[in-house]
């Protein structure tokens, strides 16, 4: 099996299945976080059909983004909250990531290279080789700072004498000290490519203009590059776009021959070229590739058999075939497909479609009613909970403590849970500060604890505290803290998000470089030159109270002055 032949950690297990799309073989309890680079964005703005890849592609920018993406995906491994400990342990042990591409057809169109050509296949091989090597280089630089993945020594990347070797006792991969066992994977990107406004994965354009099935409704989708070239060439018309969408092709007299060669769509391309393009990318992809080989409606079983054999002989790890119109409600369809299907619809099918539409409407209305009833029940439970008897405190509780920066200094918020994992009590402590500031913080914690023990939801408590402001605030943007109560509310919000398994945001303030790994640092500290305090407590000694003299706040015990 070719997938297992390149399994980077065979001593930890063998592949028995892939994810549904086929691009990611996984071990038991294995995971892989995927990311895709939009290749169309790396064609230079002044490039036009006929511009070579050397001049037309911004290779330096592609290198930079590849390093940044590799770094980002490695961070995601640590930021993820996994449902099982076994998944967490394996993810940390092998640190598998899958960097891939989308917008490949867009890059070809903007460079004027036909998809089904030797030049197109060669360029695909070159681009993926570049990304694969740069991602490995980025992983090596990360390993210099963060260390290799724990299972490295007995992987296919490990040192001689310990690394796994092939059946002929030769190395499967050359020795490389990597942070990640697996670097590249080409996913289908069906949804994210729509968000990004680019072609999906390494697929050709499905059509220049087609109808996309969006939640049961057919929406027109016209390729922006085609429209731009038509307008620049002076042959654009609404009538032409409508005919292209209806017929499902661009073979009209108004469309120049050279444009027709560039905009080769999925059904213009023979299955053989689909597979050859997949094989070119597979040569330089650690994992596998999700790629569809499109067949016309009249394709036979023998046609499919030949493609399976070709994919195997070219070194692909899998192959997917789809015959146009072989199922109702396919995600992408041209006007021609819809017309062909309409000719086969019987009167009974028409009646069933009407009944199906009625059933969908009824189901939609029922879902709304269920949501309304659920909200009413939740409100009733929360109201009833407020009147329940206060819960008794167990002898020992498990806690969660978070440090927040507030206008009064460092605030430590501890949230303790009962034996069932429900929030039970909250303690608020203000660093070195004493006097009324700490007393008020303690009072806030006691009142929150009383509310929690009396059945009030911690989310309701958070909603009451968030947004309370005073005359001084610290931090900027998402790190801005308006007051001590607001800081407590933010701490509770973090606790709730972590309990729900929401992943933390990773800041992307530092660009990737090719000189070395860059560490990302998150901070809640203010960007001000110094901290500011409000209620009269000295931030230095914590014992004195500030007085306002000569335009500045001063402490007569330790000599602190707000003005320096």
> What are the pLDDT digits (tens) for 47-61?
988 889 999 999 999
Range of the domain at 263: 197-323
- Among 109-118, 372-381, 444-453, which range has the highest average pLDDT? 109-118
Answer whether 0.75 is exceeded by the pTM. no
The answer on 147 and 7 residing in a single domain is: yes
pLDDT 10s digits, 464-485: 999 898 877 888 777 889 899 9
- Residue 423 pairs in a beta bridge with 417
Give the pLDDT band of residue 395 (cuts 50, 70, 90).
confident
Let me know if 348 is a catalytic residue: no
Number of neighbours of residue 353 by Cβ within 10 angstroms = 12
Give the pLDDT band of residue 387 (cuts 50, 70, 90).
low
Q: Considering 161, 195, 229, which residue would you say is the last residue of a domain?
A: 195
Catalytic annotation, pick one of 7, 21, 425, 538? 21
| Contact (CB, 8 A) for 537 and 562 | no
Which residues 6+ apart lie within 8 Å of 60 measured at CB? none
| Contact (CB, 8 A) for 435 and 418 | no
Please state, in angstroms and as integers, the Cα–Cα distance from residue 491 to each residue in 175, 459, 466, following that order.
46, 12, 10
**189-198: which pairs have CB atoms within 8 A and are 24 or more residues apart?**
189/36, 189/100, 189/102, 190/331, 192/36, 192/102, 193/36, 193/102, 193/103, 196/38, 196/102, 196/103, 197/224, 198/38, 198/40, 198/41, 198/102, 198/103, 198/106
Give the pLDDT band of residue 1 (cuts 50, 70, 90).
confident
The answer on 208 and 83 residing in a single domain is: no
- 75 occurs within a structural domain: yes
Helices 118-146 and 59-79 cross at an angle (nearest 10°) of 50
> Sheet of 209-214: strands edge to edge?
217-222, 209-214, 332-333
Catalytic annotation, pick one of 7, 23, 75, 425? 23
Position 432 pLDDT exceeds 70? no
The answer on 203 and 110 residing in a single domain is: no
- Among 55-69, 332-346, 434-448, 544-558, which range has the highest average pLDDT? 55-69
Cα–Cα distance measured from residue 202 to residue 105, given in angstroms and rounded to the nearest whole number: 7
Cα–Cα distance measured from residue 466 to residue 310, given in angstroms and rounded to the nearest whole number: 62
Cα–Cα distance measured from residue 437 to residue 431, given in angstroms and rounded to the nearest whole number: 10
Mean pLDDT of the chain: 84
Token pair listed for 281: 């990318």
- 33 occurs within a structural domain: yes
Task: Provide, rounded to the nearest whole percent, the portion of the chain with pLDDT above 70.
Answer: 79
Cα–Cα distance measured from residue 16 to residue 1, given in angstroms and rounded to the nearest whole number: 10
- 170 occurs within a structural domain: yes
- 521 occurs within a structural domain: no
DSSP at 502: P
| Contact (CB, 8 A) for 540 and 553 | no
Q: Identify the pLDDT of residue 194.
A: 86
Q: Identify the pLDDT of residue 90.
A: 97
**Range name among 26-40, 225-239, 375-389 with the lowest pLDDT average:** 375-389
3-state secondary structure of 191: coil
Pick left, alpha or beta for residue 411 (phi over 0 → left; psi -120 to 50 → alpha; otherwise beta).
Answer: beta
Q: Identify the pLDDT of residue 488.
A: 94
Average pLDDT, stretch 253-275?
92
The answer on 169 and 47 residing in a single domain is: yes
Position 338 pLDDT exceeds 80? no
**Of 503, 498, 479, the residue nearest 75 (C-alpha):** 503
Position 271 pLDDT exceeds 90? yes
Average pLDDT, stretch 282-287?
97
Give the pLDDT band of residue 336 (cuts 50, 70, 90).
low
Position 67 pLDDT exceeds 80? yes
The answer on 259 and 270 residing in a single domain is: yes
Q: Identify the pLDDT of residue 77.
A: 97
Q: Identify the pLDDT of residue 134.
A: 98
Give the pLDDT band of residue 113 (cuts 50, 70, 90).
very high
Let me know if 21 is a catalytic residue: yes
CATH number of the domain bearing residue 152: 3.20.70.20
The answer on 37 and 186 residing in a single domain is: yes
**Range name among 58-62, 139-143, 241-245, 429-433 with the lowest pLDDT average:** 429-433
Q: Identify the pLDDT of residue 4.
A: 92
Cα–Cα distance measured from residue 166 to residue 188, given in angstroms and rounded to the nearest whole number: 30
Catalytic annotation, pick one of 4, 7, 19, 504? 19
Cα–Cα distance measured from residue 395 to residue 172, given in angstroms and rounded to the nearest whole number: 57
Position 531 pLDDT exceeds 80? no
Q: Considering 144, 176, 195, which residue would you say is the last residue of a domain?
A: 195
Instruction: Give the count of domains, the chain.
Output: 5
**Of 466, 350, 484, 463, the residue nearest 411 (C-alpha):** 484
3-state secondary structure of 151: coil
Which residues 6+ apart lie within 8 Å of 291 measured at CB? 186, 188, 201, 202, 203, 274, 277, 278, 281, 319, 320
**What value does the CA radius of gyration of the chain take, rounded to a whole number of Å?**
30
Q: Identify the pLDDT of residue 441.
A: 87
Give the pLDDT band of residue 34 (cuts 50, 70, 90).
very high
- 548 occurs within a structural domain: yes
- 338 occurs within a structural domain: no
The answer on 141 and 290 residing in a single domain is: no
Cα–Cα distance measured from residue 12 to residue 330, given in angstroms and rounded to the nearest whole number: 39
Give the pLDDT band of residue 352 (cuts 50, 70, 90).
confident
User: For the chain, how far is it from start to end, CA to CA, in angstroms?
Assistant: 71
The answer on 146 and 78 residing in a single domain is: yes
Q: Identify the pLDDT of residue 440.
A: 86
- Residue 547 pairs in a beta bridge with 554
Give 2 or 355, the one with higher predicted confidence: 2
Q: Considering 476, 499, 522, which residue would you say is the last residue of a domain?
A: 499
Q: Identify the pLDDT of residue 518.
A: 42
Q: Identify the pLDDT of residue 212.
A: 62
The answer on 319 and 271 residing in a single domain is: yes
Cα–Cα distance measured from residue 227 to residue 100, given in angstroms and rounded to the nearest whole number: 28
- 334 occurs within a structural domain: no
H helices within 234-300, ranges in order? 238-247, 257-262, 271-282
Give the pLDDT band of residue 95 (cuts 50, 70, 90).
very high
Give the pLDDT band of residue 513 (cuts 50, 70, 90).
very low
The answer on 95 and 20 residing in a single domain is: yes
Give 451 or 381, the one with higher predicted confidence: 451
Torsion of CA 43, 44, 50, 52, to 10 degrees: -80
- 332 occurs within a structural domain: no
| Residue whose tokens read 């700072």 | 145
**Of 176, 201, 199, the residue nearest 188 (C-alpha):** 201
Average pLDDT, stretch 80-96?
96
Token pair listed for 218: 């057919």
The answer on 276 and 214 residing in a single domain is: yes
Cα–Cα distance measured from residue 345 to residue 353, given in angstroms and rounded to the nearest whole number: 10
The answer on 151 and 16 residing in a single domain is: yes
Number of neighbours of residue 153 by Cβ within 10 angstroms = 14
DSSP H or E stretch at residue 5: helix 2-5
């Amino acid at each position: 099996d070719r997938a297992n032949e390149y399994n980077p950690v065979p001593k930890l297990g063998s592949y028995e299945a892939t994810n549904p799309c086929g691009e990611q073989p996984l071990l038991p309890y294995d995971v892989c976080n995927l990311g895709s680079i939009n290749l169309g964005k790396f064609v230079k703005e002044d490039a036009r059909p006929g511009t070579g890849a050397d001049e037309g592609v911004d290779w330096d920018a592609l290198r930079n983004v590849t390093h940044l993406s590799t770094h980002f995906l490695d961070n995601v491994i640590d930021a993820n909250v996994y449902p099982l400990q076994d998944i967490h342990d394996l993810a940390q042990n092998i640190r598998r990531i899958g960097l891939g591409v989308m917008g490949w057809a867009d890059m070809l169109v903007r460079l004027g290279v036909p998809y089904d050509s030797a030049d197109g296949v060669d360029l695909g091989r070159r681009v993926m080789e570049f990304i694969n090597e740069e991602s490995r280089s980025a992983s090596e630089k990360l390993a210099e700072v963060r260390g290799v993945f724990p299972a490295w020594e007995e992987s296919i990347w490990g040192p001689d004498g310990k690394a796994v070797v092939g059946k002929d006792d030769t190395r499967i991969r050359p020795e490389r000290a990597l942070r990640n066992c697996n670097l590249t994977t080409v996913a289908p990107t069906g949804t994210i490519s729509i968000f990004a406004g680019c072609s999906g994965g390494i697929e050709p354009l499905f059509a220049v203009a087609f109808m996309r099935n969006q939640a049961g409704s057919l929406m027109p989708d016209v390729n922006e590059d085609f429209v731009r070239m038509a307008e620049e060439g002076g042959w654009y018309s609404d009538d032409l776009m409508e005919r292209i969408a209806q017929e499902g092709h661009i073979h009209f007299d108004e469309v120049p021959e050279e444009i027709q060669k560039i905009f080769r769509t999925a059904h213009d391309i023979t299955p053989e070229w689909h597979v050859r393009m997949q094989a070119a990318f597979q040569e330089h992809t650690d994992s596998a590739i999700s790629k569809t080989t499109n067949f016309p409606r009249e394709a036979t079983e023998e046609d499919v058999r030949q493609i399976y054999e070709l994919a195997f002989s070219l070194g692909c790890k899998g192959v997917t075939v789809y015959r146009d119109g072989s199922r109702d409600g396919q995600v992408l369809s041209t006007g021609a497909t819809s017309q062909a299907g309409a000719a086969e619809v019987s009167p009974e099918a028409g009646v069933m479609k009407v009944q199906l539409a009625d059933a969908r409407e009824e189901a939609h209305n029922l879902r709304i009613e269920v949501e309304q009833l659920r909200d009413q029940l939740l409100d009733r439970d929360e109201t009833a909970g407020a009147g329940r008897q206060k819960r008794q405190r167990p002898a020992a509780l498990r806690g969660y403590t978070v440090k927040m920066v507030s206008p009064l200094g460092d605030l430590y918020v501890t949230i303790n849970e009962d034996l069932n994992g429900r929030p039970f009590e909250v303690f608020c402590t203000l660093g070195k500060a004493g006097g009324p500031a700490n007393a008020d913080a303690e009072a806030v914690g006691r009142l929150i604890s009383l509310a929690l023990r009396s059945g009030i939801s911690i989310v309701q408590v958070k909603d009451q505290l968030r947004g309370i402001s005073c005359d001084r605030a610290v931090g900027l943007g998402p790190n801005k803290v308006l007051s001590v109560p607001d800081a407590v509310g933010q701490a509770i919000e973090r606790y709730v998000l972590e309990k729900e398994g929401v992943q933390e945001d990773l800041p992307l303030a530092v660009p990737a470089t090719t000189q070395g790994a860059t560490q990302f640092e998150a901070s809640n500290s203010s960007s001000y030159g110094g901290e500011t305090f409000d209620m009269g407590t000295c931030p230095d000694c914590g014992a004195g109270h500030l007085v306002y003299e000569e335009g500045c706040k001063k402490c007569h015990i330790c000599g602190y002055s707000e003005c320096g």
